[in-house]
């Protein structure tokens, strides 16, 4: 399998100062073994694009607790005391994005679009610093597309080509993020022969996947 790499090789591809996307929701669907390896690597000054910051002792929140993250672009931080403490102490920058808007910004990044027009946030603090566009008499915020240097994806099953299947809710944000990064590394729980995943069950096509790690 040409795309299969070791955990050590995967970690070396994440450099200081990179913007990375990490899939999942509260550590479900998150490539947790890769996250742990990054914690041990000591890589720092990361910007993480994520749905949430999980927990201080679980999921991508461990990177924050270990003070390896400079900024997070996320929908909420309420389950991670380390994120809240660092945010209050101005040790980390947090860009709050409504969950649906976050998903759309990532989708735009993966689809070659410049951004999305949304009424969400108009007239609130979310509008500050953003362009307002009036369309047919209604105001919208221009929310710009999001991309990353690296996306870390958690999959249930991959075949030898890198076609991915996510079980249940573990696909949260993973399919979108797999389209919106320059380099995509997948942590899969199981690797099967090509053709074993039914075509209609492929959630992320192999063309988007650069590397696969089996923990």
Note the pLDDT tens digit of each residue in 62-106. Answer: 999 999 999 999 999 999 999 999 999 999 999 999 999 999 999
- For residue 156 the two structure tokens come to 């249930």
User: Which pLDDT band holds residue 200 (cuts at 50, 70, 90)?
Assistant: very high
For 192, counting Cβ atoms within 10 Å of its Cβ (0-12 exposed, 13-18 middle, 19+ buried), the class is middle
What single-letter DSSP state applies at residue 60?
Answer: T
pLDDT above 80 for 1:
no
Question: Average pLDDT, stretch 143-147?
Answer: 98
Torsion, Cα 127 129 135 139, to 10 degrees, reads 20
The pLDDT score that the predictor gives to residue 161 is: 94
User: Which pLDDT band holds residue 125 (cuts at 50, 70, 90)?
Assistant: confident
Q: Please, where are the H alpha helices in the chain?
A: 7-12, 32-41, 61-65, 81-88, 99-111, 174-177
Set out the domains of the chain in order of their start, with CATH numbers.
7-113+147-213 (3.40.1080.10)
pLDDT above 90 for 23:
yes
Question: Average pLDDT, stretch 161-167?
Answer: 96
Query: Could you give the percent of the chain with pLDDT greater than 90?
Result: 97
Question: Average pLDDT, stretch 47-53?
Answer: 98
What single-letter DSSP state applies at residue 73?
Answer: E
pLDDT above 80 for 156:
yes
Using alpha carbons, select from 161, 159, 168 the residue that is nearest to residue 196: 159
Q: What is the mean pLDDT of the chain?
A: 96
Three-point CA angle 79, 27, 173, nearest 5°: 105
- For residue 91 the two structure tokens come to 């040790």
The C-alpha atoms of residue 22 and residue 137 are separated, in whole angstroms, by: 38
pLDDT above 90 for 126:
no
The C-alpha atoms of residue 99 and residue 120 are separated, in whole angstroms, by: 10
Cβ–Cβ under 8 Å, residues 183 and 21: no
Max CA pair span of the chain? 55
The pLDDT score that the predictor gives to residue 2 is: 87
């Amino acid at each position: 399998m040409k795309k299969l790499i070791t955990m050590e090789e995967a970690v070396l591809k994440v450099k200081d100062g990179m913007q990375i996307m990490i899939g999942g929701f509260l550590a479900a669907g998150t490539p947790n073994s890769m996250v742990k390896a990054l914690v041990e690597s000591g890589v720092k000054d990361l910007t993480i694009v994520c749905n949430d910051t999980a927990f201080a002792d679980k999921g991508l929140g461990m990177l924050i607790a270990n003070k390896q993250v400079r900024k997070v672009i996320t929908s909420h931080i309420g389950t991670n005391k380390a994120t809240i403490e660092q945010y209050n102490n101005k040790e980390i920058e947090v860009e709050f994005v409504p969950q649906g808007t976050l998903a759309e910004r990532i989708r735009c990044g993966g689809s070659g679009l410049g951004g999305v027009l949304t009424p969400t946030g108009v007239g609130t603090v979310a509008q500050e610093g953003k362009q307002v566009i009036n369309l047919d008499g209604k105001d919208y915020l221009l929310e710009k597309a999001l991309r990353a240097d690296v996306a870390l994806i958690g999959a249930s099953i991959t075949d030898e080509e890198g076609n991915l299947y996510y079980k249940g809710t573990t696909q949260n944000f993973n399919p979108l993020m797999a389209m919106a990064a320059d380099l995509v590394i997948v942590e899969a729980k199981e690797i099967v022969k090509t053709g074993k995943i039914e075509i209609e069950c492929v959630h992320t096509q192999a063309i988007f996947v650069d590397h696969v790690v089996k923990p």
